[in-house]
Amino acid sequence: MSTFPNSPRLLKGGLVLIDPDTAAVLRVIALQYNPDTLSRTLQVKGVGTEGGDRSEALRLKGPPVETIKLDAEIDATDQLEFPDRHPTATQVGIHPQLSALETILYPASARLLANHRLAQAGTLEIAPMEAPLTLFVWSKTRVLPVRLTEFSVTEEAFDPALNPIRAKVSLGLRVLSVDDVGFTHKGGTLFMGYLQAKEQLAAKNQGGTLNVFGIGAIP
């Protein structure tokens, strides 16, 4: 029983892979530890450029390009203290957790083999393989369609068989907007929900008055 029974349950952040057509959940990857920091960058998609038409200076071509960076820690040290309860960690360390993240970047081996057979049979045009839609989940107000753009691993400790047992994973994510996938795609629907939730939260912000700037009106 918890020492603080009334304390709120700590939610996990992580990634969810879904079928882009049916929205069926294919894989859930919860982070073992929520990172202490989350870095987000928004790059404006403006029309106006230096020396261009001045009437275009305030126009936006679409939603900004949002990128997210975070560091996640994976550690099997505690599990190794109880090998009977955690046989997988004892046998292969944190390979399963790392592989679950890494395989997001790979096409399925079955699809690669199928395309190889098509090529061997003389098929002239083979469509690029569509990956599952990846969602970054960071609370119910942030369920974002993303593309994993950066992935690096620092393996920090190993067991006697050289299986990694502690690692830091750095992830770079690019939020997919309606400019990337369209409005009818599941990713577009999720992005619009994210944008509308952001607008609702912005409306809750208590704005100030011009007096806080020391001016009574805009000159």
Number of structural domains the chain divides into: 1
Evaluate whether residue 99 is within a structural domain.
no
pLDDT band per the 50, 70, 90 thresholds, residue 5: low
The percent of residues above 90 in pLDDT, for the chain, comes to 70
Which region among 15-19, 55-59, 92-96, 205-209 has the lowest average model confidence (pLDDT)? 55-59
Distance CA 54, CA 57 (A): 5
Evaluate whether residue 97 is within a structural domain.
no
- Answer with the residue of higher pLDDT: 47 or 116: 116
Does position 200 have pLDDT exceeding 60, yes or no?
Answer: yes
Domain span holding position 39: 14-69+104-154+169-202
CB 146 within 8 A of CB 66: no
Distance CA 90, CA 81 (A): 9
pLDDT band per the 50, 70, 90 thresholds, residue 54: low
Evaluate whether residue 86 is within a structural domain.
no
Per-residue model confidence (pLDDT) at position 58: 82
pLDDT band per the 50, 70, 90 thresholds, residue 1: very low
130-160 pLDDT, tens per residue?
899 999 999 999 999 999 999 999 999 999 9
Q: Provide the pairing of β-strand 25-30 with 143-158.
A: unpaired
Evaluate whether residue 195 is within a structural domain.
yes
Evaluate whether residue 27 is within a structural domain.
yes
Evaluate whether residue 4 is within a structural domain.
no
Evaluate whether residue 65 is within a structural domain.
yes
Q: 117 is written with which tokens?
A: 């057979």
pLDDT, average across residues 19-41: 96
Evaluate whether residue 80 is within a structural domain.
no
State pTM to two decimals: 0.88
